[in-house]
Chain A
Amino acid sequence: MDRTPDEPSDTPGAVSRRPLMIGAALAAAPLAPPGIAAPARAQDAGDGRLRVNLTVNGEARQLSLDPRASLLDTLREGLALTGAKKGCDHGQCGACTVHLDGRRVASCLTLAVQADGRAVTTIEGVAREDDELHPMQQAFIDHDALQCGYCTPGQIMAAIALVREGRAGSAEEIREYMSGNLCRCGAYAGILAAIQDAAPKMRGA
């Protein structure tokens, strides 16, 4: 088979990706330099797998990983942390957004071995079970900033990071810096309102 529709990158006549998406993707992917060095630290377990040490939601985890495994699949299938969602597996939708050393990344585009020695925070780590909700989570409820809920963990992780990045200054800025996170149900107005509500509470906390 020379080419399948599963490989869209070289598709003839493909329309161009919007600059908006590229801007958002760049903003969401500041991990690269340390990530490149990471595999050198990961130890080969001798069976083709790599031993890595992650801190996930504050807990130290030692894992033996397929070097091809994405951080997203590792979190979901290996650690049963299924809050981060797979919506495209290509870094195009944002549903898999998690924090790596406090910065938002698309976990589907991050190899798990790149996270060796680093701290990963997922939606499950934002407020532990039975803990009080994070102000951003509460604001998402108050403004009904969700419908089906599938993109919501990614939206919330992106929103928390956006406030920390100092990008919640205006509605326009929030819209721009949230544009890497798609919501097909169209809850954008609610998400904007939630971020505007939660941002001052986060700064005050």
Chain B
Amino acid sequence: MSDTSFPDAPRADAQDKVRGALRYAADDARPGMAHAALAVAAVARGTVWRIDAAAARAVPGVRLVLTHEDLGGVKPPGFIMGGGYGFQSIQPLTSPQVAYRGQPIALVVADSPEAAAEGARLVRADLAAEPHQVTLDTPEADIVAQADSPLPKPMFADVTVGDAAAALADAAIRIEAEFRHPAQHQSPIEMLSTVAEWRDGHLTVQEGTQNAEAIRHGLARQLEIEPARITVLSPSAGGGFGQKNSLQAHTVLAAEAARRLERPVKLVVSRAQVFHGGSFRPASRHRIRLGADAEGRMTALVHETDSQTSRHDLFPTQYTELSSRLYGIGNFRGRERLVRNDVQTPGYMRAPYEHPAAFAVESCVDELAYRLGRDPVALRLANDAAADPVTGRPYSSRHLAECLRRGAARFGWERRSMAPGSMRAADGALVGWGVAIGAYKAATAPAVARLRLLDDGTVTLGVGGHEMGQGMRTAIAAVLQRRLGVDPGRITVEIGSTGATPQHLTAGSWGTATVVPATDEACDALLRALDALPASRTPAERLRAAGRAFLEVEVSRRAPGQPEAVIGRLATGLPAAAGPAYPEFVSFSHVAHFVEVRVEPTTCRIRVPRIVSVADCGRVVSPRTAASQLRGGVVWGIGAALREVSEVDPRHGGFLNADLAEYVLPVHADIGTIEVEFVDEPDPRLNRPGVKGLGEVAMVGVAPAIANAVHHATGKRLRSLPIRVEDLL
């Protein structure tokens, strides 16, 4: 099926989305629904020594108030990176301890959202504050070398290749620089929200998530009941971007309230509270030392990082997975450290490590090009890798050079003059053209796919995956249409809800490379089963001719090299993905971004009128949604480079700009032309359809391309994001 490109097709759920008919979790509006609201701590660290909910309980319509004094019995969920299910290990309301500003201290449940909100405002708490720290500038005692930590190895060991120190000493040219990346928040427009309901001892949870199985198994652990007594429904999430990748802290509170009230409870975490109620991209600091010979061959790279974690968990980092493998550099040394802060545990946000790492490395590579007087595209092409520098294994596919060449041609790169400040627009604006590349592991998760054909010709495919806007339903439908010749209108895709097939975490850009090959193999199995039936024109006619009402097949698929035992992890809601290093090869998606910025000379306002991005994500199964996903990743890069920062005041803790007016996301007026293109070469070594991932690589490299363009326009090297007007004044 990988022989030819897939045709353009509309998004599978677009009709429902434009009609406002698609149901997200909080769209369950029924008579009898109770509404919940959270009260949160106003100190950065401390202890609740008295909590008074009398006023809250007296509000007409308030039915229940839960605090640490009455929650009782609920167990912690365990940390998702430590064998558990939660975005962090601690469960608010199970003790008087407050680990971070904004931590929930009470849940108020009422007949209406208005009464619940009023009640939550009236919860009075006396807190004993303790000293706290919320920045990377902390005492040494709070810095943990990841290599010496209990985090599992070799996954979280420091990466070492060759002898970077010696190669650096021998280098003709050395670039040294430190980069800073702020904390940022994923901010999907659908806020964290849950509807919980018990019927006959069975708990049903509706929540937009990337990981329904973790919610199910995590709640089972927290409530000490069998997972079989829990169903999690998440057919569609209103964006995830990593924040919804695990069991959230509010979910068990809604479930417990619903159990006590014996009615459904809806808890929509307020936007301000989402900034403290879920994970975020940790602030990080990157020290780079890059060495090259006089001809511009990069010979050594040292990448040392410090990244925020919480006091209660070690959120591991893998910044050097990108930096060690982006080019064919023979000598590399990475060192990753975690800095303990009094914050909720940080987590994954689109291209969690790769985007900050690429900002650091690709800024230095641009600087190297200027030291050499060498065109930045030519320098990158000259340093492309022939094999994976860390393992020595071949890449399953690598079309980075093709991305660079196509992008340069489409952008008109040959018209660029090298000298900073040498290009001007007709209106006097400084014009800067910048380039950068990105990579992201092509990972794969195990999956079970169940395919059913009915004698009326309709097809239902169930598989482990979550639709959060990336277009998974559309990609699955494209495969079914091609393999079985069935019209999109006769296809039902069942993903995101527990109960049928196990629902593995959808993250890390492994969604398509997980569900498309599994769907493809399910089609093989169905076609084999059909072969046993009398010949006829269509599959449905064969069924009818055989007197069969339906035909169902199930296949189980693992990533290359994964043992059978991984299916057990899949079934219990634990992360079980593999990659980028497989036994025979190493797999990455790649991208090249070409950016034009214009800097208004008096105000120094930076605009991004034009970007060209070319990606290699293997075979593109759903061209229309893939193009949107690539453009969306570019928008994220613009936001990360020029807008987004979660502001911190060391005196207060927490995040100051906890709303969508002051946490500045890119808006329509920020976005110019974004032209995207795909290499669209299948990678059949990774899987037969030849698909790799796209959602995250789309963002990687945008920020350094913008920073490099700003340098080209102004001559200024800016190493701290976001880049703001004041940096250019």
Contact = CB atoms under 8 A, between A and B. Distances in A.
Contacts of B123: 1
Interface in B113-149: 113-115, 118, 120, 123-125, 127
Given A66-B114, A83-B19, A141-B10, A148 B239 contact: yes
B275 interface: yes
Contacts of A185: 239, 469, 628, 632
B489 to A, nearest CB: 14
B263 to A, nearest CB: 14
Nearest to B645: A15
A69 B111 CA distance: 13
A77 B124 contact: no
A89 interface: yes
B40 interface: yes
A76 B661 contact: no
B185 to A, nearest CB: 10
Interface stretch (B20-28, B326-334, B432-440): B20-28
B188 A89 contact: no
A175 B609 CA distance: 12
Interface in B614-629: 624-625, 627-629
Contacts of B17: 140, 146, 149, 152
B471 to A, nearest CB: 7
A186 B632 contact: yes
A149 B625 CA distance: 12
B77 to A, nearest CB: 22
Contact of B647 (A14, A21, A87, A123): A14
A4 interface: yes
B253 to A, nearest CB: 16
B271 A87 contact: yes
Interface stretch (B78-86, B221-229, B669-677): B669-677
A148 B11 contact: no
Interface residues of B, number: 90
Interface string B375-401: 000000000000000000000000000
A89 B625 CA distance: 29
Contacts of B714: none
Contacts of B632: 147, 185-187
Contacts of B58: none
Contact of B236 (A142, A148, A191): A148
Interface string B2-43: 000000001101111111111110110110010100011110
A184 B239 contact: yes
Contacts of A73: 113-114
Contact of B272 (A7, A76, A83, A180): A7
A7 B276 CA distance: 13
B666 interface: yes
A1 B668 contact: no
B662 A8 contact: yes
Given A86-B26, A185-B469, A192-B668, A5 B272 contact: yes
A176 B672 CA distance: 12
B112 interface: yes
B238 interface: yes
Interface stretch (B546-554, B562-570, B633-641): B633-641
Interface string B184-216: 000111110000000000000000000000000
B40 A4 contact: yes
Main secondary structure of the interface of A (DSSP, over half): loop
Contacts of A141: 10-11, 14-15, 18
Contact of A85 (B189, B236, B662): B189
B272 to A, nearest CB: 5
A175 B669 contact: yes
A153 B20 contact: yes
B666 A186 contact: yes
A53 interface: no
Contacts of A95: 189
Given A148-B237, A149-B236, A184 B14 contact: no
Given A1-B42, A20-B667, A122 B661 contact: no
A14 B662 contact: yes
B19 A77 contact: no
Interface string B639-671: 000000001010110111111111011111101
Which of B17, B237, B627 has the most chain A CB atoms inside 10 A of its CB?
B17
Contacts of A176: 668-669
B114 A6 contact: no
Nearest to B652: A12
B669 A8 contact: no
A174 interface: yes
A188 B671 CA distance: 7
A184 B241 contact: yes
B284 interface: no
Contacts of B655: 5
B19 A188 contact: no
B628 A190 contact: yes
Contact of B187 (A8, A129, A184): A184
Interface string A27-51: 0000000000000000000000000
Interface string B72-116: 000000000000000000000000000001100000000011110
A202 to B, nearest CB: 15
A171 to B, nearest CB: 9
A195 to B, nearest CB: 10
A150 B101 contact: no
Interface string A124-156: 100101000100011011101011111111001
A92 B40 contact: no
Given A90-B661, A185-B469, A146 B270 contact: no
Interface string B233-272: 0001111010000000000000000000000000010111
Contact of A3 (B13, B42, B271): B42
Interface in B440-459: none
A88 B659 contact: yes
Given A4-B39, A149-B238, A127 B19 contact: yes
A201 to B, nearest CB: 15
Contacts of B628: 144, 147, 185, 187, 190
Contacts of B239: 147-148, 150, 184-185
Given A5-B276, A141-B14, A149-B13, A122 B40 contact: no
B39 A1 contact: yes
Given A4-B40, A18-B664, A20-B667, A88 B18 contact: no
Contacts of A190: 628, 631
Contacts of B41: 4
Given A148-B188, A175-B668, A175-B671, A88 B658 contact: no
Interface in B266-310: 268, 270-273, 275-276
Contacts of A1: 39, 42, 123-125, 127
A109 interface: no
B470 interface: yes
B656 A144 contact: no
B664 A85 contact: no
A126 to B, nearest CB: 8
Nearest to B40: A4
Contacts of B236: 148-149
A147 to B, nearest CB: 3
A191 B668 contact: yes
24 contacts: A6-B270, A8-B272, A12-B651, A12-B652, A68-B114, A76-B29, A77-B113, A83-B19, A85-B189, A86-B268, A88-B271, A89-B271, A92-B660, A122-B20, A124-B20, A133-B15, A144-B10, A144-B627, A147-B239, A147-B632, A148-B238, A148-B239, A182-B665, A189-B671
Given A8-B658, A182-B189, 9 more contacts: A2-B42, A12-B656, A14-B657, A73-B113, A86-B268, A144-B14, A149-B14, A178-B668, A188-B635
Interface of B: 10-11, 13-24, 26-27, 29-30, 33, 35, 39-42, 101-102, 112-115, 118, 120, 123-125, 127, 187-191, 236-239, 241, 268, 270-273, 275-276, 468-471, 624-625, 627-629, 631-636, 647, 649, 651-652, 654-662, 664-669, 671, 673-674
